Structure 1
């Protein structure tokens, strides 16, 4: 960017002026990446997921391009259902009514994301990377809310357009950007006009912008909460903003007050860089609940190896090893064992995980997972395995929130998120708990909204650095 003048930069003293926050959200990111290496896929229905490769019999959609969505293909959908609605080009009788299916290639997507993130960090002093395809930027010191001489747009809009154009020009993928004086409004704005959107919400206009939107558009409100608000007669953000705060708090506690504040356009959170993860986890669901102990052990062994490798690639050691076992209908059980010191020992992760799993040998499991936590990133000599004694197994079980009479949308686990497990279809989820606190509204909404894929229709396969 040497020698390039950023549009919208204002050198004046903006002390005390409203912040300028950008929420950058890549459009159908995995599909866009596939189109980068196969340009002939541009304009064609593209589905990225797992389960349709040779030898595999089940899986789920990670991302469906907008063209594929016209056929009813959605993120987190069983791949069998997607193929019924949109056949593969290779096997379709009518190729003009078929789509292009590609397997998930996370390492490639991460390499593309790294190019995008380099631009974001070049354009802002403070960047909070939320996931592989999403980030918040505080550009208060780079531009301003002043309008151009013709009064048609703000300098902040010009700056955001510059960010979009750089991503498109230098990387070759498109992004939707929301510009607002706070994080939650910027998030709503980026979702408002996808794909390739740019929506600016000026200071003083946030509440009026939000008011007519469905209450589910309020940042932090997921489908379960939206349904419960609907039962209270609250259908729009404006109605939530005007609701009796005591009534909302009595139903949802402090989280309810937070959601009402956001519906009113109030959000005083600062954009802060995400910290290192507190834990690293991996989980996988079975096509059907299984009592086959050997099958469960095979999956847990593979998950343990993957989690240990991810920890090593990040230079992380761990003090706690745990598993998660989901039993029908959706009873989430966790077991963990604490060690006497931090280690980097993949075989130990597998041994401990399998030992903990033995408790569930005779149980029908829908899903299993492996986690390492109490991470340490300090450069230090690795603790020796000699003389180690496990501090004992700490057991916990939790019921995941479910919609009455429906298939559960999501399971919550301490320090992570779980994507939707569609009935009869396995999913694979990576999750990393970020250091630092998140609000109740964010944590609760993540388990709801990520279950069905994000607003851009992309199922969450994890948050990557």
Structure 2
């Protein structure tokens, strides 16, 4: 990289086992124990939202079934998530970020990118800003965060994971390319298990291996994302930190305590979900033209169906009606439904800022 290039100063902050750490902070009896936050393993069981580092030693990971987590660690402690508490903590963390920069791109309740190329307090050093932020989170919230500091978002995000928990990793301009060359392909953010296995079958185990291929060869093997791989393995990522990320869709879903088999039960649940979605849309002054129904059966088979309109909508009654029509079209004879969800997208020109001056909600369900 040219010596005279003006580089951005990007920090990626990632809270350490966020939900579990909040629970252990608030309940001393949980400290030091393998803690799982998520659905309880009884009955049909739920899903792990996050696990403490004590639990992770047994192989417990996010999105794993709670029953599997219990098998891996029979003495694990399970608690249900308290999302209202996590949101309040997240708002405090965001306030700490805003002391240093207004260029904050939240990815979820527990992580964000910050552009501190010109920090508000005139600290000058991105490493020092990251250290101050970590210290403030520790002092004010009694929680720890890990930080990655580099010249772009991709490298900063990978760096934040290197020394977890409570870590800080700086990868400077002169080290970026060699760092990417040494990185195992499965560590590339955005490369999942399937793609990683495909790469390895082609003899591509590290960034250096990827770097040997031309852009056209990468596109031929991996599609359009091959262009991204070509650039990123060379340390090139020009994506800016976006303070107001565009909301693409908004929705809600529910997993039921027992399988639904009667249309009346399904319709009742769709009414509830539609009202939740309508309330969220109203809060952000949004209306959309596309309604999507999500259905998961007792076999765990999952389908989605959508319907687009010429006029935007956002009211519960219309959402529920369309969802019921989409559900009926899937066939309801002898089905057992585990989960239903409704989402709205295709907002077009209607999107505006939230009615309240706060950050967009984390609407993913665990």
Q: TM-score with structure 1 length normalisation?
A: 0.68
1:132 aligns with 2:109: yes
Q: Which residue of 2 aligns with 1:208?
A: 178
Q: Which residue of 2 aligns with 1:265?
A: 235
Instruction: Kindly tell me the number of residue pairs found equivalent between the two proteins.
Output: 350
1:371 aligns with 2:343: yes
- Paired with 2:275 and 2:7, the residues of 1 have a C-alpha distance of 48
1:338 aligns with 2:309: yes
8 Å CA contact 2:10–2:126 kept in 1: the answer is no
Q: Which residue of 2 aligns with 1:5?
A: none
- Paired with 1:60 and 1:157, the residues of 2 have a C-alpha distance of 36
**Structure with more contact order per residue of length (Cα contacts < 8 Å, sep ≥ 6):** 1
| Cα distance change on mapping 1:300 and 1:58 into 2, 3 Å | farther
Q: CA deviation at 1:121?
A: 1.6
Q: Which residue of 2 aligns with 1:311?
A: 281
- Paired with 1:186 and 1:62, the residues of 2 have a C-alpha distance of 24
| Cα distance change on mapping 1:267 and 1:363 into 2, 3 Å | farther
1:118 aligns with 2:68: no
Deviates more, 1:229-238 or 1:76-85: 76-85
| Cα distance change on mapping 1:198 and 1:238 into 2, 3 Å | same
1:69 aligns with 2:56: yes
- Give unpaired runs (5+ residues) of structure 2: 354-360
Query: Which is richer in helix?
Result: 2
Match of 1:17 among 6, 31, 44: 6
Correspondences of 1:160-309 after superposition (within 5 Å): 160-284=130-254, 292-309=262-279
**Cα offsets for 1:98-135 (capped at 9, x unmatched):** 23321011111111101001111212231111111110
| Cα distance change on mapping 1:374 and 1:57 into 2, 3 Å | same
Q: Which residue of 2 aligns with 1:41?
A: 30
**Cα offsets for 1:49-104 (capped at 9, x unmatched):** 01357xx64211111111012233221111122223334xxxxxxxxxx2332101
Q: Which residue of 1 aligns with 2:326?
A: 356
- Give unpaired runs (5+ residues) of structure 1: 1-14, 88-97, 147-153, 380-429, 433-459
Aligned-partner SS, 2:309: strand
8 Å CA contact 1:322–1:370 kept in 2: the answer is yes
- Paired with 2:107 and 2:307, the residues of 1 have a C-alpha distance of 27
| Cα distance change on mapping 1:261 and 1:378 into 2, 3 Å | closer
Aligned-partner SS, 2:106: strand
8 Å CA contact 1:23–1:187 kept in 2: the answer is yes
Aligned-partner SS, 2:114: strand
**Cα offsets for 1:161-202 (capped at 9, x unmatched):** 111111111122211100000110001101111111100000
Aligned-partner SS, 2:291: strand
- Paired with 1:169 and 1:212, the residues of 2 have a C-alpha distance of 36
